[in-house]
A and B are shown apart, each in its own frame.
Chain A
Amino acid sequence: MSELDLNDKVNEMLAKSEANVKNSDKTFVRPEDEIREVVAPDGSIITVNPLYDYFSNERPQVEEPKGGIVEKFLNWARAESIWVLGFGTGCGSIEIPPLVTPRYDMFRFGVQMRPTPRQSNAFIISGYLSVKTLKRVIRTYEQMPSPKYILALGSCTINGGMYYDSYSTINRLDKYLPVDVYIAGCMPRPEALLHGFVKLKELIKAGKAEKANEYARNFDEYKANQKKIIKDWNMPDYNW
Chain B
Amino acid sequence: MKELIEKLKSKYDLQDEVYQRDNLVYATIDKSNAIDSITYLRDYEGFSHFVLMSCVDWIEDGKFQLLYLLNNPTTKTDIGIKVFIDRDNATMTSCHHLWKSIWTYQRELKEAFGIDFPGSPRVDENFVVEGWTDIPHMRRDFDTHEYAEKTYFPREGRKSYDPSEYMKQKLDPNQPVTAKKSKDDK
What residue of chain A has the Cβ atom nearest to residue B138's Cβ? A167
> Considering only CB atoms, which chain A residue lies closest to B158 in the complex?
A159
With A10-B100, A13-B121 as contacts: A165 and B145 at CB distance below 8 Å: yes
Whether B148 lies near A166 (C-beta < 8 A) is yes
Q: Which of A158, A167, A172 contacts B137 (CB 8 A)?
A: A167
Interface residue count on the B side (C-beta < 8 Å): 26
| A21 vs B152: C-alpha distance when bound (angstroms) | 31
Residues 116-139 (chain B) with a chain A CB within 8 angstroms: 121-125, 128-134, 137
Are A167 and B147 neighbours in the complex by a CB distance under 8 Å?
A: yes
Q: Does B154 make an interface contact (CB < 8 A)?
A: yes
CA distance A228 to B152 in the complex (A): 9
Q: In the bound complex, do residue B124 and residue A17 qualify as a contact, i.e. CB atoms below 8 Å apart? A: yes
Residues of B within 8 Å of A175, CB to CB, are 153
Quick check: is A61 within 8 A (CB to CB) of the other chain? no
Contact B154 A171 (CB under 8 A): yes
Question: B100 to chain A: which residues have CB within 8 Å?
Answer: 10
Residue of A with least CB distance to B147: A167
| Distance (whole angstroms) from the CB of A165 to the closest CB of chain B | 4
Instruction: Show 7 residue pairs from A and B whose CB-CB distance is below 8 angstroms, ordered by the A residue.
Output: A13-B122, A20-B125, A131-B129, A165-B144, A165-B148, A168-B129, A230-B131
Apart from the given pairs A131-B130, A160-B152, 6 other A-B contacts in the complex at a CB distance below 8 Å: A28-B131, A132-B129, A132-B130, A171-B153, A172-B152, A225-B153
